[in-house]
A and B are shown apart, each in its own frame.
Chain A
Amino acid sequence: MLRVGPGLAADFIFCPVVRSFSLQYLCLETMDSCDTPESTPRQRASSRLKDYFIGATPLQKRLESVRRQTSFVPTPPRRKIPQCSQLQEDVDPQKVAFLLHKQWTLYSLTPLYKFSYTNLKEYSKLLGAFIAAEKQKGLAVEVGEDFNIKVIFSALLGMKGTQRDPEAFLVQILSKSQLPSENREGKVLWTGWFCCIFGDSLLETVSEDFTCLPLFLANGAETNTAMIGTWFQKTFDCYFSPLAINAYNLSWMAAMWTACKMDHYMATTEFLWSVPCSPQRLDISYAIHPEDAKALWDSVHKTPGEVTQEEVDLFMDCLYSHFHRHFKIHLSATRLVRVSTSVASAHTDGKIKILCHKYLIGVLAYLTELAIFQIE
């Protein structure tokens, strides 16, 4: 395992490497006009005149316009830097404190059929009975385990992006205390919560009977997650699938979270790359002082309030070229596996830990987007 500590980041502030796609040598005159949105109207008009004078037949012109429409290249995404949304200020920090500093495993969930928020108590009883039955079946038998468990469904108020988003809700498995007289809440064995933040693209497509909560986060034993998943799948006709985060999305997260303004930084910014080589895998860990990372981001960032693909690529290229200069290793040929900042940390296997209360909604919004993308 190769570690690069923050000490090496001292000479980090340098001119960012400017990389641009230069196509000046390639000139196919008739086609260029549709690809340069910056071209002035005069240039566009003159090329149209040129077509006209060359004697393009109406059929050719029509083919050309159809060709321009169908050769659609999707524009790269622009995303908003997470800000404190208005809705979040209504959320009591104490109530959501238990969501922070915990490692959550991510799943994407298709819309729930005929789920109602008024029946939460009933669902608690049904799920509790289901889990008790499953455990007695011998599926998850552990010696000395207390089978007296309690399931609680509760609504999580304020965990939404817009008013249209459905309310988030929480499922907890608690162990009942042995002494009934004490009436104390037992230890939390497993926690899972469902939420939807800015899920407009999915909400528009489903009908009234469905509740869209595409993001599911679970913390606790894997066996419990599987059992609860089975119950939900049977009861609400939905489908869970693990949400993996690929290197492309991890680099977006790194850029977006570095862009967040923080009063004080709790943790160093750290990246982990996995180099696929036999026989043993090599991991490269690269730690940067968070203020240096923010300074680098500020030198790259242009449009206020938004993050573009070019800025993310430039940010990551700066890190790669700095590393290459010192170690002659091309990090761009390896796979980014983990990103950890003061806002949150994410692993490619779909594990996330949110550290900052202020940007909780922002982090969840991006994860919701990934979950919706996986469902569709």
Chain B
Amino acid sequence: MSVLRPLDKLPGLNTATILLVGTEDALLQQLADAMLKEDCASELKVHLAKSLPLPSSVTRPRIDLIMFVVNLHSKYSLRNVEESLHHVDATFFLGKVGFLATGAGRESHCSVHRNTVVKLAHTYRSPLLFCDLEHHPFLQKDCQMVSLPRTMEQPPRCSAHPARSPIPQQPERGAI
């Protein structure tokens, strides 16, 4: 069973890869589209997955950041994230994992208590962001403003360190 490890592949130069894991395909797609529209110092790649482990048949670049998306309206998405967390190596949790909780705004539809997700994020020592990814034009913009600055500032830190890369290259921009 493949476990995601942060350093098992060489980093891409000036590239950052974010993996979004969650059961709600439409929401993940929306978030990914919004992220790609934003300006980023490095080149940004976003991968979407329903759950982990990822199929090993596909070649993919090194994953720099994993965001687990939990929909507070659905207990199933929380269980799915909990199962997927078992397939992530412990060293990933040193700053390369985040949790995104969506749907807290509509309190009447929530089947998962906010504190459950807070406790989950606390247990894994990872940041938790609350946003609303439902199909709402205002909230979509809010989501961009709330979650993107945070995720955008992380990838440049994760992208290529020229000192480690064996390939000779031109002076890098926007690293660290």
Which A residues are within 8 Å of any B CB, using their own CB?
21-23, 25-28, 31, 35, 71, 73-74, 76, 244-248, 251, 316, 320, 330, 332-336, 348
CB-contacts of B123-166 with A (<8 A): 123-125
Q: With A27-B90, A246-B110 known to touch, is A333 a contact of B123 (CB < 8 Å)?
A: no
Which B residues are within 8 Å of any A CB, using their own CB?
23, 73-77, 79, 82, 86, 90, 93, 107-113, 115-116, 118-119, 122-125
> How far apart sit A216 and B85, CA to CA, in the bound complex (Å)?
44
Q: Which residue of A lies closest to B111 (CB)?
A: A247
Q: With A21-B123, A23-B123, A27-B90 known to touch, is A336 a contact of B115 (CB < 8 Å)?
A: no
Known: A334-B74, A335-B109. 10 other contacts (CB 8 A): A21-B82, A22-B86, A28-B90, A74-B115, A76-B116, A246-B108, A248-B110, A248-B112, A332-B74, A333-B75
6 of the cross-chain contacts (CB-CB < 8 Å) are: A71-B122, A76-B119, A244-B108, A247-B110, A247-B111, A330-B76
B125 and A248 form a contact (CB under 8 A): no
Task: Tell me how far the C-beta of B152 lies from the nearest C-beta in chain A, rounded to whole angstroms.
Answer: 25
Q: Of A28, A31, A246, which contacts B107 at CB under 8 A? A: A246
Q: Of A21, A22, A246, A332, which contacts B76 at CB under 8 A? A: A332
A333 and B23 form a contact (CB under 8 A): yes
Q: With A31-B125, A247-B111, A332-B79 known to touch, is A73 a contact of B118 (CB < 8 Å)?
A: yes
Task: Tell me how far the C-beta of A312 lies from the nearest C-beta in chain B, rounded to whole angstroms.
Answer: 10
| Chain A residues, CB < 8 A from B108 | 244-246, 348
- Find the residue from A26, A28, A31, A76 having the highest chain B CB count within 10 A: A26
Task: Tell me how far the C-beta of B53 lies from the nearest C-beta in chain A, rounded to whole angstroms.
Answer: 14
A248 and B111 form a contact (CB under 8 A): yes
| Chain A residues, CB < 8 A from B76 | 330, 332-333
> How far apart sit A245 and B107, CA to CA, in the bound complex (Å)?
9
Task: Tell me how far the C-beta of B127 lies from the nearest C-beta in chain A, rounded to whole angstroms.
Answer: 12
| Chain A residues, CB < 8 A from B109 | 246-247, 335
Identify whether the interface residues of A are mostly helix, strand, loop, or mixed: loop
> How far apart sit A23 and B90, CA to CA, in the bound complex (Å)?
10
> How far apart sit A81 and B50, CA to CA, in the bound complex (Å)?
39
> How far apart sit A330 and B116, CA to CA, in the bound complex (Å)?
20
> How far apart sit A76 and B117, CA to CA, in the bound complex (Å)?
12
| Chain A residues, CB < 8 A from B113 | 76, 248
Q: Of B74, B93, B115, B116, which contacts A26 at CB under 8 A? A: B93
> How far apart sit A187 and B124, CA to CA, in the bound complex (Å)?
61
A26 and B124 form a contact (CB under 8 A): yes
| Chain A residues, CB < 8 A from B107 | 244, 246
> How far apart sit A23 and B76, CA to CA, in the bound complex (Å)?
20
> How far apart sit A21 and B113, CA to CA, in the bound complex (Å)?
17
Q: Of A22, A76, A335, which contacts B115 at CB under 8 A? A: A76
Q: Which residue of B lies closest to A22 (CB)?
A: B86
Q: Which residue of B lies closest to A337 (CB)?
A: B109
> How far apart sit A74 and B125, CA to CA, in the bound complex (Å)?
15
Q: Which residue of A lies closest to B82 (CB)?
A: A21
* 5 A-B pairs with least C-beta separation: A247-B111, A333-B76, A332-B75, A244-B108, A332-B76
> How far apart sit A335 and B119, CA to CA, in the bound complex (Å)?
22
A333 and B125 form a contact (CB under 8 A): no
Q: Which residue of B lies closest to A247 (CB)?
A: B111
Q: Which residue of A lies closest to B90 (CB)?
A: A26
Task: Tell me how far the C-beta of B36 lies from the nearest C-beta in chain A, rounded to whole angstroms.
Answer: 27
Task: Tell me how far the C-beta of A142 lies from the nearest C-beta in chain B, rounded to whole angstroms.
Answer: 32
> How far apart sit A330 and B86, CA to CA, in the bound complex (Å)?
21
Q: Which residue of B lies closest to A74 (CB)?
A: B115
Task: Tell me how far the C-beta of B130 lies from the nearest C-beta in chain A, rounded to whole angstroms.
Answer: 15
> How far apart sit A9 and B84, CA to CA, in the bound complex (Å)?
31
| Chain B residues, CB < 8 A from A251 | 111
> How far apart sit A348 and B111, CA to CA, in the bound complex (Å)?
11
| Chain B residues, CB < 8 A from A244 | 107-108
| Chain A residues, CB < 8 A from B118 | 73-74
> How far apart sit A248 and B108, CA to CA, in the bound complex (Å)?
9
> How far apart sit A181 and B12, CA to CA, in the bound complex (Å)?
95
> How far apart sit A25 and B89, CA to CA, in the bound complex (Å)?
9
Q: Which residue of A lies closest to B73 (CB)?
A: A335
> How far apart sit A21 and B23, CA to CA, in the bound complex (Å)?
20
- Find the residue from B23, B75, B116 having the highest chain A CB count within 10 A: B75
